Copies of this chain bind each other. A is one copy, B any other.
Amino acid sequence: MNTALEPHPRKGSERREAILVTATEVFLSEGYGRASMDQVHAKIGGSKRTLYNHFPNKEALFEAIVTAVSSRALAALEPPLGEDNLRKALFKMGENYLGVLLSPDGLALYRAMISEALHFPDLARTFFERGPGRASHYLADFFREQKAKGVVDVADPQIAAQHFLGAVRGDVHLAAALGVRKPSKQLVKMTVSQAVDTFIRGTAPASSEVET
């Protein structure tokens, strides 16, 4: 109604952005519980009131962080499926998917969401739907197309997509999330490559031989 009620932005957007960047570092490295508003404030400098002006409380700050990092990290899940060759498409999709999950932001986000899912159910749902869920759906659509063309023979494209992506994750992602071992690029390539092989052979139409 009244435009005069709008707050003066000052360089408000920049300030907010700076706070968010710093807070993200703290929250993603420490986790929600161990991260403290005081710690964030100390790294930002200035007044604590400024921090609370932009984010009313710790929960709201965490939600803003997760939302921002999600859209940044998960954007890369856009399916690189322009490729029509099944093997190449799957390989690119798998490599890209695993790359996102194994990136520093991807791992930190995964840890944060698993940790806080029960206390931030809406956030958890959004994360799933925009992350792993979306990737599965994209791939399922791709499988449906390929199935229509008779290139693959899968009973349920949706489940098949989850299986392929699950196989790509393998134990590599789990081990990385637990900090047990950091996978090399070479291991990633090998993992994806073998997953593609098995999947293609496992879903090849009975009649035709797919070129290797």
Contacts and interface: CB of A to CB of B under 8 A. Distances in A.
Interface of A: 31-34, 110-111, 113-115, 117-119, 121, 124-125, 127-128, 132-133, 136, 154-156, 159-160, 162-172, 174-175, 177-180, 190-191, 194-195, 197-204
Contact of A166 (B31, B132, B170, B178): B170
Nearest to A153: B201
Question: How many copies of this chain does the complex contain?
Answer: 2
B178 A170 contact: no
A11 to B, nearest CB: 35
Q: Which of A133, A154, A198 has the most CB of B within 10 A?
A: A198
A119 B35 CA distance: 13
A171 B114 contact: no
A202 B194 contact: no
Nearest to A111: B114
